[in-house]
Amino acid sequence: MTRAWKLGDVVSTATGILEVSIVKLTHPHRAQRVMIIPAPRFAASEFWRDWCYQPYVRDHKLFISDDVFVPTFVPPARWMESRSDRKGLEYMKVVRFPDNVDLDIPRRSFFKRQAMLRTPMIVWLLTTVKLRDTYHPWISRKVRNIVGTKYLLTPAAEDQSFVLILPSSQAASAVTSLLDLGFVVENSVKVQCGDAAEIQRITRWCHAFNFVVIAYIWMLLIVLIVNETQRIKRSFDAFVVQKQRERAEEKHQHT
């Protein structure tokens, strides 16, 4: 039975520096390889430049999780980047990824080779990032869909090499899913992402801001449900009273 990877297998803070393990997996019976890049939501600019903002699309299919870039993290991120003591940390910027013009490839081909790995919309809108980091069953399903599960068929040339940029908390689940499909870890490289204490401090503020936004959305949803329930009840009560009045008038006419 395949050993399930844990968060500690891909993220380390033992030295006071946040380190992530970039994992390359291959399948022994298929011409297929996958590289998984665990991306903390805040990291040193060198990490983004050297490992994420690369022209992977030329030789691989690139999938970027939409849980790496969280809109509610943007205001705290901008506040952090405006400080002089930010210690070289940056938030991931989607616009920094090379586009089809930078790579000199057709637009249609570019969009076939780069895509978002999307969290289910309802989950993305109504749950906190903290909860999604802890519980993310959709990652295994999406990774299986990306690489395919037909062991006896050799994938087409364009489906033989993948790069997945995932939140650090979800990368271990992706590795475990690939191991369950028969992939093996070819190698892994530890990469420094920045001061662990500073990253954790900023991330806590972002989680707090995200919780406030999600709580506000839930409050609006509850108010909407309560108001609609009361409106339907009032309409039904008015309908019942009207019917009772009509029956009373009919009975009075007959008498």
pLDDT digits (tens, 9 = 90+) for 57-86: 988 999 999 888 888 888 877 877 777 566
Which of the given ranges, 99-108, 151-160, 221-230, has the highest pLDDT on average?
221-230
Distance of CA 201 to the CA centre of its chain: 21
- Measuring CA to CA, how many Å separate 188 from each of 26, 34, 139? 12, 12, 20
Find the mean pLDDT for residues 19-46: 91
**The pLDDT of residue 86:** 64
Q: Are 192 and 17 in contact (CB under 8 A)?
A: yes
- For the entire predicted model, the pTM comes to 0.86
**The pLDDT of residue 158:** 81
Of 15-24, 70-79, 100-109, 191-200, give the lowest mean pLDDT range.
70-79
CA distance 149 to 152: 9
**The pLDDT of residue 89:** 85
**The pLDDT of residue 30:** 82
Give strand pairing partners of 153.
none
**The pLDDT of residue 153:** 65
**The pLDDT of residue 75:** 83
Residue 152, pLDDT above cutoff 60: no
**The pLDDT of residue 104:** 86
**The pLDDT of residue 248:** 78
CA distance 245 to 35: 73
Residue 151, pLDDT above cutoff 60: no
Find the mean pLDDT for residues 199-210: 90
**Start-to-end C-alpha separation, the chain:** 84
**The pLDDT of residue 11:** 92
Percent pLDDT > 90 in the chain is: 44
Tokens representing 87 are 């210690």
